[in-house]
Amino acid sequence: MTSIALKSFVGLRQSSLETKPHLTLQAKPPSPQRRFRVAAGKFSPKVAGRNLRVAIIGGGPAGGSAAETLAKGGVETYLIERKLDNCKPCGGAIPLCMVGEFELPLDIIDRRVTKMKMISPSNVAVDIGQTLKPHEYIGMVRREVLDSYMRNRAMENGATVINGLFLKMDMPREENAPYVLHFTEYDGKKGGTGEKRTLEVDAVIGADGANSRVAKSINAGDYEYAIAFQERIKIPDDKMVYYENLAEMYVGDDVSPDFYGWVFPKCDHVAVGTGTVTHKGDIKKFQLATRNRAKDKILGGKIIRVEAHPIPEHPRPRRLSGRVALVGDAAGYVTKCSGEGIYFAAKSGRMCAEAIVEGSENGKRMIDEGDLRKYLEKWDKTYWPTYKVLDVLQKVFYRSNPAREAFVEMCADEYVQKMTFDSYLYKRVAPGNPLQDLKLAVNTIGSLVRANALRREMEKLSV
């Protein structure tokens, strides 16, 4: 495994809680793992008789990561998630850096993809992965496995996980007053109806996805979103061998006018899906086209699950209000072009929680909006270049079939592959070689010119 630089947090233990909130739930004691050391430097009031209390709404990678970080940092932590067995329609690709940075066990990774095929509208296939080093790969996970693992680890470190549906939030009427959360708890005792409960907390992290109720509570504004549609298909063992360490991406107007179709391998099946922002009503037609493009390789397969979900296309107009912050899909942290969101969800959850731990001096003091704003400033400074580059790529190469043909042709270039994988696997915009960059620009223009010339010839033949 590659050596990945990690931040090391060592320091204060959690204090025992002297008072409990209105909701009485049993939390597991924290395990003696790495903790945060923070420098005291603010003059906000101390929390009387207890530690700072924070609720996370949503139990995906963003929520699980935030809950673990808060619990380790001495904050009284509650995570509310309605579907503890949720299977989000997600390709499930994670970068190599996430495995090390979030200390993920290898047994939750279904496949280690070292080869990819990018397939153009005219079915020209380009093999990608020749620049990967022996230890490098793209991890393929099932969201129900990853999400559950991250929630359980948060619970082992002291967070209380509640199986409940968040309903609404009463805002504080005065400075430092609590937020009152209303939710329905499902503990198995009330059947499917659940029981209405309330919980008073000092701060809230909204990690509840594209349809975030927390975002609505703070008037965070709307954003454009895509619909992702995915089918899990159990294919014969002899065909599964083909996808052992290989993933496929299909581009073309037939599979999506503004995104791509995919076939990603899982433990014993493949995930076949697509997405679109501009033609949501045609998503099933695009899904059928994706299956047809891959039909020879998935022939004889049986659909075992169908999934659909909205995916944000850009950050919300507002991601913070008072002591409420948004992370992950709720904040709009999904990249253009690649549609990646798992790593950025987990990372934003951790960064937001770190800001709370630091601002509260390990749960001893009240926080304010200024503490949470540090998370946003750090996030934007770190990841804005990545989002901007991918936004430009999508606008240039996903706008037409000729542009997609040029994109696939460009992907055959070894320099392009190296830059792409370095940026993806380690989540940084890789610095380029000026001479190679100039060569790439010339080749890209040439590809676009040839693709448009081909389009004009095809239009003549169709007249």
pTM attached to this predicted model: 0.85
DSSP-derived 3-state class of residue 310: strand
- What local confidence, expressed as pLDDT, does residue 375 receive? 98
Average pLDDT for runs of 10 along the chain of length 463? 35 35 46 46 80 97 98 98 80 93 96 96 94 95 95 98 96 95 84 88 97 96 90 96 96 95 96 94 97 96 93 92 97 88 96 98 96 96 85 83 90 87 78 50 54 52 51
- What local confidence, expressed as pLDDT, does residue 429 receive? 59
How far is the C-alpha of 156 from the C-alpha of 297, rounded, in Å? 42
- What local confidence, expressed as pLDDT, does residue 354 receive? 98
Q: Residue 210: CB partners within 8 Å, gap ≥ 6?
A: 225, 309, 310, 311, 312, 329, 330
How far is the C-alpha of 380 from the C-alpha of 351, rounded, in Å? 11
- What local confidence, expressed as pLDDT, does residue 443 receive? 55
3-state helix, strand, coil in the chain (%, to 5): 35, 25, 40
Q: Count of alpha carbons within 13 Å of 299, Cβ hemisphere only?
A: 3
Residues in the chain: 463
- What local confidence, expressed as pLDDT, does residue 391 receive? 83
Show the tokens assigned to 413: 């270039």
Report how far apart, in Å, the C-alpha atoms of 334 and of each of 33, 81, 210, 345 are: 31, 21, 10, 8
- What local confidence, expressed as pLDDT, does residue 462 receive? 54
Cα four-point dihedral sign 428, 433, 436, 437: positive
